[in-house]
Amino acid sequence: VVKKLWAYIREKNLQDPKNRRNIICDEALQVLFRVNSINMFQMNKALTRHIWPLDEADAKSKEKEKQCEQVEEDEPKHKAKRQKKEV
């Protein structure tokens, strides 16, 4: 989340030129943080109001999803068809 937020800040050139630790909030960031400007340390703390840790069950479920996605990526795209065995 923080990485994406910094990409947005750089893309919109929202860092204060005199002190690059300060972020000048545009409309979207003002809605998010409820201030006109915020320093980078306060920003990380303010984000905690919007981000919750996963509970243990969700964390395990998310990990399984990642593992399944990885297995699917590792498998070849087109599998050779098997011939049916005669009984």
Using the structure block, give the residue that is written with the tokens 């409309």.
27
> For residue range 5-26, what is the model confidence (pLDDT) as tens digits?
999 999 999 999 999 999 999 9
Please tell me the distance from the alpha carbon of residue 25 to that of residue 32, in angstroms, as a whole number.
Answer: 9
Q: What is the pTM of this model?
A: 0.58
Asked whether residue 55 carries a pLDDT value surpassing 60, the answer given is yes
Contact assessment for residue 77 and residue 69, using Cβ atoms and an 8 Å cutoff: no
The pLDDT value recorded for residue 48 is: 86
The pLDDT value recorded for residue 7 is: 96
Q: Cβ contacts of residue 41 below 8 Å, gap of 6+?
A: 21
Structural domains of the chain in order of their starting residue, each with its CATH number: 1-71 (1.10.245.10)
CA proximity to 2, closest of 70, 48, 53 = 48
